[in-house]
Amino acid sequence: MEPSLADHLPTLRPLGLAEQYSTARSHLGIYVNVCVTATYSNRHGQNLPDALYRSLATIIAKHPTLSAVPIDTTTTPRFVRLPRVNLNQVVTFIEKPGYTPSATSDPTLDELVESQHNLPFMQDNSLVPFWRITVLGNPDDSSWFSLCLCFHHSLLDTQSAVIIHQDLEYALAAHDNGTVMDIVEGPQKALLPPLESMVDLPVSSDFVCGQQTLGEPPQNWWSGKPQTLPVQTRFTSIWIPPNSFTSLRQKCKEKGVTLTATLMSLLASAFFRVLPPEYTFIQGDCAVSLRRFLPDYIDQRSAGCYVGSLSEVYSRESQSIWENAKRTKKIIDKTLQLRGADMPVGYLKHVTDISGWLLGKMGKRRWAAWELSNVGGFDDAPGLKIEDRHVQSVMFSQSASACSGVVKVSAASGRDGRLGLGFTWQEGIVGDEVVEELVQSLVDLIHEITS
C-alpha cells in the first residue's frame, strides 16, 4: 500500500504475535482466509438487499474489528481504522436460477466457497476491509438465501464469525425500516487487546526445544507431499442428516466422549482405510478455543481471534474408534487444564522472523495429516425471539495451507439438525480422489457406529 495512504489512517494498535502469524501467512500466500456460510429463511423478500445493508451498519458499529485493517505487515505491523466501509465493496449478490440447497451435498455452494478461498485479501490497499459477504439466492424462490461471510484470520476466529451471523440474524429481524446507506462510518471504538496480552501462553523449555528441533516425520508417517507454494485450495462438503447426527451425539454421550474427540478418532480411522498399509502412523491437529480464558472484563460476544491448537498421533494398530476417542478426550481435557500453556501459538514469542520461519518449512514434509476445527452449534443472540430464528444450516470452512494439516476439516451445525463438514486441501499435495475416498470412508464410519 502507499505509505501516504497509511499515514492518514488512525492506528488502532500494533498486531499481536498470533495476528502477525496470520498476516505473514496470507502475505506469503500460505493461507488465505476462513468462511462461515449460513442459510437463512428470507422474511424480507425482494427487499433483502436494503435490510441486509441496514443490518450490516449495525454490526459494523458494534464490532470495531470489522473496520480494522492490518498494514505494514513486514515492517511495523499494526491495525489501522478505516474511516468508512463501502458496503458495495464487500457485499456481492449472486443469483442461480433453479438452485435449491441440497440435503447431503451441495456442488453449487461448494463452487462458491472454493472460489472465496482462492481470493485473498490484498494487503496493499488499506481502504478495502478484510472481510466480505457473498449472498447466494434463487431469483425464482426468495424464501431463503445463503450468506457466506469470508474473513482474514487476523480479524476473527470462527466463533467470532458465528457471533456475527447471530448478530446479523437479530438485526435482520429488527430492521424493517430506516435509511439505507452503502457507506458506513467506522466506529470510534478501541480494538480489543491481542490474545497474548489477555491470556498467558507460557511454553516450557522442553516444548521450545521440541519445536526448535522438529525435523521431518519418518517414512511410515503419512502427511502428503512436501510443503510448497503456491496454494490453490480445493473444497468439498457433506451434510450429516439430522437422524444420523442425533445418533452420533447420543453415542458420544453414552461413551463419555465429546463430538470433537470422536471426530478426531473417526478421521484417523477414515485415513487408515484409504492409505496404503505401509503408513502406520498419522497425526491430527485440533483447534482449541481460548475464549474461555479471556479476562472477565472481555465480553464473551466480542469479536477477535482467540484460538490455539493441539496435536495427537494415531496408530494403525489401534483401530478402536471409541478407545481412540476416549484417549483424545483426555488430551483435550489436559490441554484445557493447562489454560494455553505449551501451544504453538505461545511458541511464536521465540520466533524472531515469522515470515522466514514459515518459508523455511517449504520443501520439507509436514507432520499433520489433517486439522480439525469444530465450532459447534448455532445459538441465539441475546434477546432473539423464537419466531425470529431464520438461520437454518451452517457450513464452516478454511482455505488450504501450505504449512499445516494436509486436509482441513471444519465442523459446524445449524438449527436444521444437520452437521456440516467442510474439507479443504491444497491442489497437488493430495489427490482429489484420495479426499473423495476419505470423505466417503468418514460417512461410512459414522453410519457404522450409529446404526
Q: What is the pTM of this model?
A: 0.96
pLDDT for residue 5: 65
CA–CA separation, 438 vs 176, rounded Å? 45
C-alpha distances out from residue 275 to 86, 129, 269, 401, Å: 48, 42, 10, 21
CA–CA separation, 239 vs 422, rounded Å? 9
H helix runs in 308-384, sequence order: 321-337, 344-347, 354-359
Q: Which residues of the chain have pLDDT under 50?
A: 1-2, 4
Domains of the chain: 3-185 (3.30.559.10), 199-450 (3.30.559.30)
Question: What are phi and psi for residue 104, nearest 5 degrees?
Answer: -120, -30
CA–CA separation, 209 vs 215, rounded Å? 12
pLDDT for residue 124: 67
196, 18 in Cβ contact below 8 A? yes
pLDDT for residue 138: 96
Cell of 210: 521440541
pLDDT for residue 2: 47
pLDDT for residue 126: 63
CA–CA separation, 377 vs 379, rounded Å? 6
C-alpha distances out from residue 30 to 23, 230, 380, 404, Å: 10, 7, 35, 9
Averaged confidence pLDDT in the chain: 95
Start-to-end CA distance of the chain, whole Å, equals 56
CA–CA separation, 241 vs 416, rounded Å? 9
DSSP states of 118-163: T-PPPTT-TTS-SEEEEEEEETTEEEEEEEEEEE-TTT--HHHHHH
